[in-house]
Amino acid sequence: MKPSDVSTLPDGVPEALEAEGIAELYPPQSAAVEAGVADGDSVVASVPTASGKTLIAELAMLSSIARGGKALYIVPLRALASEKKTEFERWEEFGVDVGVSTGNYDSDGEWLASRDLIVATSEKVDSLVRNGAPWVDDLTCVVADEVHLVDDSGRGPTLEVTLAKLRRINRNLQVVALSATVGNADEVAGWLDAELVESDWRPIDLRTGVHYGSAINFDDGSQREVSVGTGQKPEAALVADALDETVDGTRGSSLVFVNSRRNAEGAAKRLTGVTDTRLEPEERAELDELAREIRDASDTDTAVDLADCVETGAAFHHAGLSSESRSLVEDAFRDRLIKCVCATPTLAAGVNTPARRVIVRDWRRYDGEFGGMQPLDTLEVHQMMGRAGRPGLDPYGEAVLLANDRDTMDELFERYLWAEPEAVRSKLAAEPALRTHVLATVASGFATTRSGLLEFLDQTLYASQTDDDDRLATVTDRVLEYLAANDFLERDGDTLTATGIGHTVSRLYLDPMSAAEIVDGLREGVESGGTDAAESPARTRPSDDGEAPDDAEVGFVTGSDLAAEADGDADSGGEPDSRSDAGGDGEHTVGDGPTLSALGLYHLVARTPDMYQLYLKSGDRETYEEQFYEREPEFLGHAPSEFEDVAWEDWLAALKTARLLEDWASELDEDTIAERYGVGPGDIRGKVDTAEWLLGAAEQLASELDLPAVRDVRAARKRVADGVREELLDLVGVRGVGRKRARRLFEAGIETSAELREADKSVVLGALRGREKTAENVLQAAGRQDPSMDGVEADDDATASAVAADGDGEKGETSGGERGDADDGQATFGDFS
């Protein structure tokens, strides 16, 4: 079957597909068309990685749009949303408008209504449904990518419930579910009332085997000799072996999967020895250029390490990298410039980065719940192995596991090479998932009675997979009790009604348990006056270094007062040093009056189930215990006792997370934070984003409950969003001015956007380190009539203060504010870009 045989596509699309090199549809694609995927019928396609699932989705969505409909593509990871959107944008020339949901409901609302094809994560879709986005009713085709992830206990239930809701809103909805090969695709198809297309066809042969001793032992019984030198790691021998085999003038590239970020970095560094000696001179020049781009994009140790590896033809890839570094690595690997990538499974599974040889080095991973190493699922290993072989470029793909004894080799054969992948099992009956979805289902009017609720839940995969109807009813009742006890809903006989606050919680997309924690914490803060240690219920202070305020009932101090106070303490000398390490002492407001400190608020949101906390490493317990006692009056809510081991650890882990946020909001540079907390720039951004969202939610809850905490919460939120102290909040509001530029301007005496508008140009230019284009853009954004810098000389004093503002000289030159040229309004996140 050819693209032109699919008569339902918009005009011009078949020709465009053929021009892309899609002469024939792959067999699973033809099977999907025969099953009606282009005619509006629901289809579950369970086929191996790299067998062209995206095109199945495109055939369905584009045909649906050609019939006047509207399509939604649900991605499994936020990082994939923009990648998919870019991919689909090539259809815009055929009249298909593409949009991605950014998650900002207000700005999304109307705009998305005008799009034909929308890309979003399941969480975003769930949130849009909860908020009653009207265009959801117009959807005619919904694609769920990687639908086997309904098995994931964290995010699976949201995908499951979202699909059930969308199908209920629109009874004729076409659902196209794309899945890796799983053990029970028929059950998934049964649940979605869809035709099943199941296939193990691949566009390129895949040979799988286990390396043991001096050879790869393939599952067809053949062998390939790959001997390992003394002191050499087997993966190094395998990467070298692939590179030394030239087909059609190209050397074979390798993708090495390992189980942690640290291992990915370590393995890549070691493998540079293999790749470096096999580079052509012109490749070296291109790699140098690529390394420079990576260094320019970020100044963290991680980026520098990555650039060092890249110069010699190897790279690592994990979620701790900035998205810019990630895509630079992916592109260069696809272009065969980078010869070897060491990756963690999470991200690499979703990205189309084929390699001639895939090496699954680690097949066990640390499992916190289990408390030790656990083997990966067969499904996951199959997905990694499926990345082997680039159609049209390699003669075949090879996927290799590693064993250092015969027993392990036998085990690997049984567990991964000969085994069928696992069945997909719903995780909806887990309490945290139900808590969230039951409230949302009631609040958004999907169910108004207990029986209606159970009837809705009956349409989920969970219900279709269980014989025990009582279990769902029992957990649901427990959850209803919890929600009623926290005033999120009212129950009157069979009737269920969400309260005002319940509606808010659902709309804000909070886990009800997070909302309960936040509300309790804010109330407690109000009652105790926030910093009143004497009111702290669970413990007595071991040292009396902080005088609790005498009058716990004193009114609230505003956030700005608080910050001014804090900054006054920390910044008195205006010294870069005091600023760069200001976190702790700067905001230690004990005795200065009752107010909610930023740290207290960061800690409050950090201990909710919606925040993924930092781990305590060895020695951390003592460090954070000490900090806890030092700053005890600032914490909101009831601290557990030191003897409640798990709860206490949790409290301290939240404190570590809160300290990271506080450091960020005190202008500590990204590199120092990364080092101090042992995290990558991607992690810092993740924590900051989550904190911003949770504090925004806290602000709304406080305002709805008329708690006077609103202003403190807002100040804390804005500071964490922009990564600045209070005094810079106005300046960072100017487009193109990130935290670093704001600090430089401030130190040069320009303290507000109004002052910037009127400021002496030479001072602005000096503060912005002589960059004329930047200075012009910034002035223009501030509303200056004539922003031109023609003939303006940079003021030396301003330059000197800018350098001083950077603390340690040139550091930060290439990061932070320098990204402010981007006119996406995100300049305040410069450090992450």
| Residue ranges in contact with ligand ADP by CB under 6 A | 21-22, 25-26, 29, 49-55, 352
Q: How far is the CB of 181 from ligand ADP (least distance, A)?
A: 11
Q: How far is the CB of 95 from ligand ADP (least distance, A)?
A: 22
Is 1 or 113 the residue whose CB approaches ligand ADP more closely? 1
Is 29 or 504 the residue whose CB approaches ligand ADP more closely? 29
Q: How far is the CB of 15 from ligand ADP (least distance, A)?
A: 15
Q: How far is the CB of 638 from ligand ADP (least distance, A)?
A: 48
State phi, psi for 123 to the nearest 5 degrees. -65, -40
For the chain, the helix, strand and coil percentages under 3-state DSSP, each to the nearest 5: 50, 10, 35
Is 182 or 599 the residue whose CB approaches ligand ADP more closely? 182
DSSP assignment of 575-593 = -HHHHHT-HHHHT--TTS-
Q: Are 486 and 500 in contact (CB under 8 A)?
A: no
Question: Which residue in 569, 575, 529, 519 sits closest to 549, CA to CA?
Answer: 529
Is 25 or 267 the residue whose CB approaches ligand ADP more closely? 25
Q: How far is the CB of 40 from ligand ADP (least distance, A)?
A: 21
Q: What distance in Å separates the CA atoms of residue 686 and residue 706, rounded to the nearest whole number?
A: 30
* Measured distance between the N- and C-terminal CA atoms of the chain, rounded to whole angstroms: 44
Q: How far is the CB of 618 from ligand ADP (least distance, A)?
A: 40
Is 336 or 757 the residue whose CB approaches ligand ADP more closely? 336
Is 179 or 774 the residue whose CB approaches ligand ADP more closely? 179
Question: Which residue in 250, 201, 283, 254 sits closest to 393, CA to CA?
Answer: 250
Is 23 or 646 the residue whose CB approaches ligand ADP more closely? 23
Question: Which residue in 431, 437, 429 sits closest to 453, CA to CA?
Answer: 437
State phi, psi for 289 to the nearest 5 degrees. -65, -45
Q: Using the 8-state DSSP alphabet, how is residue 817 labeled?
A: G
Is 50 or 489 the residue whose CB approaches ligand ADP more closely? 50
Q: How far is the CB of 55 from ligand ADP (least distance, A)?
A: 4
CA distances from 467 to 438, 461, 471, 472 (A): 21, 12, 9, 10
The position carrying tokens 């991964």 is 416
* Contacts (Cβ under 8 Å, ≥6 apart) of 222: none
Is 6 or 590 the residue whose CB approaches ligand ADP more closely? 6
Half-sphere exposure (Cβ direction) of 331: Cα atoms closer than 13 Å: 12
Q: How far is the CB of 573 from ligand ADP (least distance, A)?
A: 56
Q: Are 388 and 180 in contact (CB under 8 A)?
A: no
Q: How far is the CB of 129 from ligand ADP (least distance, A)?
A: 26
DSSP assignment of 295-310 = HHH--SHHHHHHHHHH
Is 48 or 681 the residue whose CB approaches ligand ADP more closely? 48
What are the structure tokens assigned to 730, written together?
């106005």
Task: Give the number of other CB atoms < 10 A from CB of residue 638.
Answer: 15
Is 237 or 393 the residue whose CB approaches ligand ADP more closely? 393
* Contacts (Cβ under 8 Å, ≥6 apart) of 788: 776
The position carrying tokens 């566009």 is 203
The position carrying tokens 């691949």 is 202
Q: Are 140 and 67 in contact (CB under 8 A)?
A: yes
Question: 3-class SS at 830?
Answer: helix
Alpha helices in 768-829, H assignment, sequence order: 772-782, 796-805
Q: How far is the CB of 4 from ligand ADP (least distance, A)?
A: 13
Q: How far is the CB of 702 from ligand ADP (least distance, A)?
A: 44
Q: How far is the CB of 29 from ligand ADP (least distance, A)?
A: 6
Q: How far is the CB of 258 from ligand ADP (least distance, A)?
A: 21
Is 54 or 408 the residue whose CB approaches ligand ADP more closely? 54
Is 349 or 707 the residue whose CB approaches ligand ADP more closely? 349
Q: What distance in Å separates the CA atoms of residue 230 and residue 232, rounded to the nearest whole number?
A: 5
Q: Residue 736: is it exposed, middle or buried by C-beta count within 10 angstroms (0-12/13-18/19+)?
A: buried
Is 352 or 499 the residue whose CB approaches ligand ADP more closely? 352
Q: Are 325 and 303 in contact (CB under 8 A)?
A: yes
Q: How far is the CB of 665 from ligand ADP (least distance, A)?
A: 40
What are the structure tokens assigned to 189, written together?
């198809």
Question: 3-class SS at 51?
Answer: coil
**DSSP bridge partners of 342:** 256, 316
Q: How far is the CB of 17 from ligand ADP (least distance, A)?
A: 8
Q: Are 310 and 294 in contact (CB under 8 A)?
A: yes
Q: Using the 8-state DSSP alphabet, how is residue 619 labeled?
A: T
Half-sphere exposure (Cβ direction) of 208: Cα atoms closer than 13 Å: 19
Is 52 or 525 the residue whose CB approaches ligand ADP more closely? 52
Task: Give the number of other CB atoms < 10 A from CB of residue 414.
Answer: 10
